[in-house]
Amino acid sequence: MWMRASMTGDAGAYRQLPVSLAPHVRAVARSQCRSLGAPESEAEDLVQEVLLTIHLKRGTWDQWGPIGPWVAAITRNKLIDVLRRRGRHITVPIEDVVDSLQAEDLTPELSTRDIDTLLEHLKPQQREIVRSISLNGNSIRETADQLQMTEGAVRVTLHRALKALAVFYRSSVREDR
């Protein structure tokens, strides 16, 4: 229901989407990392990448379809992508992903990635807005007032920043490990 509501722009309902999906995604990521012998600290990177992807690709969810397989497909795709980047070739049966979606809640952890390294890849204005909203917990309006921008401009910049982050997650990080 909240996913459907979020599609019509109800921000209050949308707030619950990443929050309620995070534990599931985390459970999948940890169990997969464990079974593949990857350090569990990498799991949180994967969790963030999946949540960001789910957010950016939310328009591809078919309103009349169940959300579980859609989330599982995105998670599986990202997982394979990560493994490919690590130079392994393993196929992940979709059933595994669906099964572990029911797994228990796990507490969040810090990603191994340093926030500053991550933000370095953004343009200065994007960086300020990301800092203001995520680290200082400001709303769009407070951020707009602080930076003397319109709310619309803040929204557009935030959206571009998230797209840039997704590209960055996808391209570089794990290659240097």
Partner 1 sequence: MKTDDLIQLLVKDSAPWRFRSVLAAAVVGGIIIAAILFFAEIGFRPDISEAVKSNRFLFKFVVTISLAVTAIWVTLSVGRPGGSLAHRGLALSIAPALLTCALVVELLVLPESQWMPHLVGHNARLCLTLIPLLSVGPLACLLAALREGAPSSPGLAGAVAGLAASGIAATFYAANCTDDSALFVMTWYPMATLIVTTAGYLVGRKLLRW
Q: Which residues bind partner 1 (CB under 8 A)?
A: 6-9, 11, 14-15, 17-19, 22, 26, 44, 47-48, 51-53, 55, 57-62, 69-70, 72-74, 77, 81, 94, 108-111, 113-115, 118, 130, 133-135, 137, 139-140, 155, 158-159, 161-162, 170
Structural contact between residues 112 and 38, judged by C-beta atoms closer than 8 angstroms = no
Q: How far is the CB of 17 from partner 1 (least distance, A)?
A: 8
Q: How far is the CB of 34 from partner 1 (least distance, A)?
A: 18
Is 58 strand, coil or helix?
A: helix
Cα 5 to Cα 12: distance, rounded to the nearest angstrom: 9
Amino acid at 126: Q
Q: How far is the CB of 22 from partner 1 (least distance, A)?
A: 6
Q: Which is nearer to partner 1, 7 or 147 (CB)?
A: 7
Name the maximum alpha-carbon separation found in the chain.
50
Amino acid at 137: G
